[in-house]
Amino acid sequence: MMADITLTPRAAKRINEIMGTEPPGSSLRISVNGGGCSGFSYAFDVAQAREADDIVIERDGATVLVDAVSLEYMAGSTIDFVNDLIGQSFKIENPQATASCGCGTSFSL
């Protein structure tokens, strides 16, 4: 199954930089959890293993894993990496989110 989640070149570059310091075979796992100031929040973790239901998103050698449940909440999203006044962070532009907090890490549907 092809995930309709897009990884930008900037995000792929940063993921590759981060994974360069992790054990070989590591991937970035992005999941959606309940909670956060708008109802749901994103979690970013380094994963050593893929799960059976993981959707794999790859670009320029970077690998992102998203589990099937989180994929439902993230379908159509773009994962970007921004470097602005408040610092560097991954930013998920989620077309399903009806409201999100200023930090961009939580959202509601």
Domains of the chain, earliest start first: 6-108 (2.60.300.12)
Number of Cβ within 10 Å of residue 73's Cβ equals: 18
Model confidence over 13-28: pLDDT tens digits? 999 999 999 999 899 9
pTM: 0.85
Cβ atoms of residues 80 and 10 within 8 Å: yes
- The single residue listed with the structure tokens 């970013």 is 44
Cβ atoms of residues 30 and 44 within 8 Å: yes
- Taking 70 as the pLDDT cut, the residues of the chain under it are 1-3, 36, 100-109
Mean pLDDT rounded to a whole number for the chain: 88
Which tokens sit at 40? 């749901």
Number of H helices, E strands in the chain: 2, 9
